[in-house]
Amino acid sequence: MRTSISSLQKIYQNGEKFTVLTCYDATFSQVLEACGVDVLLVGDSLGNVIQGEETTLSVTLEQIIYHTRCVARGSEKAFIMADMPFGTAQLSPECTFKNACQIMAAGAQMVKIEGGHIMTDTIQFLTQRGIPVCAHIGLTPQSIHQLGGYKIQGNTESSASRLFSEARALEQSGATMLLMELVPAPLAKQITAAISIPTIGIGAGVDCTAQVLVLHDMLGLYQGNKSKFVKNFMAESCNIQDAIRNYVKAVKAGHFPDKAHEYQ
């Protein structure tokens, strides 16, 4: 039986942690599932690690649908979440719903949407119509040109207040989970404590409910710039499966991320 939203919420309510890794194909979905990864994220990071692009902006809806189908075919138990790529969720709520339906039909159980206050009406529209949403705040790679690069977010009083307000608003709009990227660990801890939905951190400290990394980063395969929050789990492992299991163990035990991989 495939992991459900209820299963993940039970983990959250028990004060435990769950694990997320990006996945783009059937083979790795089998491997990640066998190694205990709870959630497979079909991320638009495939633009970087699969297609060799500098940003995620060129990833299309059709490509996300294709890779979601591949991941769904290869797994039986893991929860599947998929990104809504650039330009597919920034339209009207009705158009966003149409795009999300195609991703769900391909095998996703949840879509992830970048953006804060501006996305609340859209998220409410989707969730009221049966599409679970993981909201994504902090560094939002689809807005990389507006943000001026891959920079930490929420490190000033005003930006921290904005992120806190966005988190509450997104929860109220019906978001089932909240992903925070490149957010100071103390702020991510405050947000996690203030809302009643699971939080997923990437560069957001150890106090989030779950952690996510790009698969190619945690295996030390991606040759691009390495962010501070990235840990190469292959460096201390004998093979890919051991590296993934070590990641799962470290996250569930609260050992990753440590101080060396978080922002203050």
- The catalytic site residues sit at 181
Has 114 been labeled as part of a binding site? yes
Has 83 been labeled as part of a binding site? yes
Burial (0-12, 13-18, 19+ Cβ within 10 Å), 179: buried
Has 44 been labeled as part of a binding site? yes
Query: Can you tell me the distance from the alpha carbon of 143 to that of 38, in angstroms, rounded to the nearest whole number?
Result: 28
Task: Give yes or no for a contact between 256 and 262, defined as CB atoms under 8 angstroms apart.
Answer: no
- Length of the chain equals 264
- Give the 3-state DSSP-derived string for 178-245, with helices as H, strands as E and coil as C: EEEECCCHHHHHHHHHHCCCCEEEECCCCCCCEEEECHHHHCCCCCCCCCCCCCCHHHHCCCHHHHHH
Q: Name the binding residues for 3-methyl-2-oxobutanoate.
A: 44-45, 83, 112
Q: Name the binding residues for Mg(2+).
A: 44, 83, 114
Q: Name the binding residues.
A: 44-45, 83, 112, 114
